[in-house]
């Protein structure tokens, strides 16, 4: 979704998940509404969506946008207190996509979540003249998964344990918060070794 958003911004009138209305209902109902919206286009899709929403009697809440951004700001507060980042952007697009971004002089950390797909993505973007790089540039668009693989070959057991201890103060209350906390642990450790691993 992060990549799609970046590309859509270059094309006026593009319709992606971010432009869609807030979908509600069970996973199956939400999927049906999204397909209807996509099939009939933005204008007619919205009208059909409103009509179909009235027929939904049960609503299973996923995580709300505000709840997500607050959890990110809590679990990832070390970015500001330890590493000199500042929170620069919060994106809440209906209940489909959320993103919180932190920035320092050289990097942007994006913590984004596709609510319907239940997909969390943490990416470190290396800025080029103050701007985000091409998403496909693997030397400057660094996914946390690849960074973690590199750092685990360098971090000592003591560093790993001390890093884990830092997060003991947090108690995640559901699956997404557990995911957020896990990624936060990995990111903090990666940033401690960042200068050693980013070019490895």
CA–CA–CA angle 10, 14, 20 (5° rounding): 130
Same domain, yes or no: 31 and 94: no
- Which residue range is the domain that position 183 belongs to? 65-197
pTM over 0.85: no
Q: Has residue 60 been placed in a domain?
A: no
Q: Has residue 59 been placed in a domain?
A: no
Same domain, yes or no: 49 and 69: no
Same domain, yes or no: 133 and 184: yes
Same domain, yes or no: 38 and 85: no
Q: Alpha-carbon distance 104 to 106, whole Å?
A: 6
Same domain, yes or no: 83 and 165: yes
Same domain, yes or no: 85 and 176: yes
Same domain, yes or no: 71 and 48: no
**91 phi/psi in degrees, rounded to 5:** -120, 125
Per-residue tens of pLDDT for the chain, all 200 residues: 666 666 666 656 555 656 666 666 666 566 656 655 565 555 454 554 454 444 433 334 589 999 999 999 999 999 999 999 999 999 999 999 999 999 999 999 999 999 989 999 999 999 999 999 999 999 999 999 999 999 998 999 999 999 999 999 999 999 999 999 999 999 999 999 998 875 54
Q: List, in sequence order, the alpha helices (H) in 19-114.
A: 27-53, 65-75, 78-81
Sheet architecture: strand order including 119-126: 86-93, 97-103, 107-114, 119-126, 141-143
Q: Has residue 58 been placed in a domain?
A: no
């Amino acid at each position: 979704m992060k990549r799609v958003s970046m590309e859509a911004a270059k094309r006026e009138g593009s319709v992606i998940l971010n432009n869609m209305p807030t979908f509600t209902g069970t996973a199956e109902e939400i999927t049906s509404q999204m397909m209807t919206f996509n099939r009939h286009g933005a204008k007619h899709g919205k009208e059909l969506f409103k009509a179909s929403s009235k027929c939904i009697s049960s609503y299973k809440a996923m995580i709300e946008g505000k709840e997500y951004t607050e959890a990110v700001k809590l679990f990832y507060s070390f970015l500001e207190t330890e590493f000199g980042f500042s929170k620069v952007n919060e994106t809440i697009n209906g209940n489909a996509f959320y993103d919180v971004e932190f920035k320092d002089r050289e990097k942007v950390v994006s913590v984004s979540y596709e609510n319907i797909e239940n997909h969390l993505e943490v990416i470190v973007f290396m800025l080029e003249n103050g701007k985000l790089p091409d998403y496909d540039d693997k030397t400057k668009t660094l996914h946390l998964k690849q960074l973690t693989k590199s750092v685990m070959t360098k971090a000592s057991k003591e560093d790993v344990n001390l890093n884990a201890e830092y997060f003991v103060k947090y108690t995640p209350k559901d699956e997404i918060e557990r995911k957020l906390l896990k990624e936060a642990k990995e990111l903090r450790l990666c940033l401690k070794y960042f200068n050693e691993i980013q070019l490895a």
